Amino acid sequence: MIHFVGAGSGAADLITVRGARLLGEADVIVYAGSLVNPQLLDYAKAGCAVYDSAKMTLEEVLAVMIPAEKAGKAVVRLHTGDPCLYGAIREQMDALDAAGVSYDVVPGVSSFCGAAAALKAEYTLPDVSQTVIITRMAGRTPVPERENLRALASHGSTMVLFLSTGLIPKLVEELLAGGAYTADTPAALVYKATWPDEKVFRCTLGTLEQTARENGVTKTALITVGGFLGTDYARSKLYDPGFTTEFREATR
């Protein structure tokens, strides 16, 4: 059994209890060294073999994991955040299926959740947005044309952009072209959310590029956009005294 484990967004104590236990039991750990906090390796037992996948190809990762699993070793493949987002786990799982190796997946705290915590924000505010669009700019990895940023931006929803800090001028142009956001729409850059050197920069779409440039943010950051960063919203129905729910009668 190979365990794909979400490492969480940065802070070593944000991994799940299950993930930490599996790290402690592992004979072999392959971790994404470009983004996983190396402090997480402190959970590993003495003598555990550790590989940094940042320097490896898919084939090399598989060549470590498959023989180890077949030899009866406990193997953890440690991915940053939650493995379901931009984690390239599907291709590994398909190769394991083909090799007859079983695996499971342990979720983690994605960086978009870490960023919301850093911002002390709620992405889904009544009367502001009830939708979070998670996307990225097309870079060396293309984005399907029907998901172009301009079209997604036309909803004016909360948006979280991964992997896009190097492409801000074009990103802002596309977001504005969607017609729902303006140069005054609030935005924030969250650098290394939940890491010890986390930084939060609040700005607007109009000042996003300058904010990133002046603060030297070029990678390991998320861009968040939308009215959820503003001051106006409606209070919830769920906790409204005048609203009856399954668990509580209205009191007025």
Question: Residues interacting with ligand SAH, by CB under 6 A?
Answer: 9-10, 35, 80-82, 85-87, 110-111, 114-115, 162-163, 190, 192-195, 220-222
Backbone angles phi, psi at 188, to 5 degrees: -150, 145
Encode 84-103: b = buried (16+ Cβ within 10 Å), e = exposed: ebbbebeebbebbeeeebeb
Q: Give CA torsion, residues 23, 91, 66, 42, to 10 deg.
A: -20
Closer to ligand SAH by CB, 68 or 165: give it.
165
Encode 165-199: b = buried (16+ Cβ within 10 Å), e = exposed: bebbeebbebbbebeebeeebbbbbbbbbbbeebe
- Tokens (6 digits) for 209: 């590029």
Closer to ligand SAH by CB, 68 or 191: give it.
191
**Smallest separation, CB 188 to ligand SAH (Å):** 11
**Smallest separation, CB 18 to ligand SAH (Å):** 17
Alpha carbons 30 and 87: distance in angstroms, whole number: 13
**Smallest separation, CB 136 to ligand SAH (Å):** 8
Backbone angles phi, psi at 25, to 5 degrees: -90, -10
**Smallest separation, CB 32 to ligand SAH (Å):** 8
Closer to ligand SAH by CB, 14 or 75: give it.
14
User: For tokens 């870079």, what's the residue?
Assistant: 139
- Please name the residues in contact with 57: beta carbons below 8 A apart, sequence gap of 6 or more: none
Closer to ligand SAH by CB, 68 or 159: give it.
159
**Smallest separation, CB 189 to ligand SAH (Å):** 9
Closer to ligand SAH by CB, 31 or 195: give it.
195
User: For tokens 């402190």, what's the residue?
Assistant: 42
Closer to ligand SAH by CB, 68 or 112: give it.
112
Closer to ligand SAH by CB, 110 or 185: give it.
110
**Smallest separation, CB 197 to ligand SAH (Å):** 10
Cα 225 versus chain centre, distance: 15
**Smallest separation, CB 138 to ligand SAH (Å):** 14
| C-alpha angle 35-36-42 in degrees, rounded to nearest 5 | 155
The residue sitting closest to ligand SAH, measured at its beta carbon, is 81
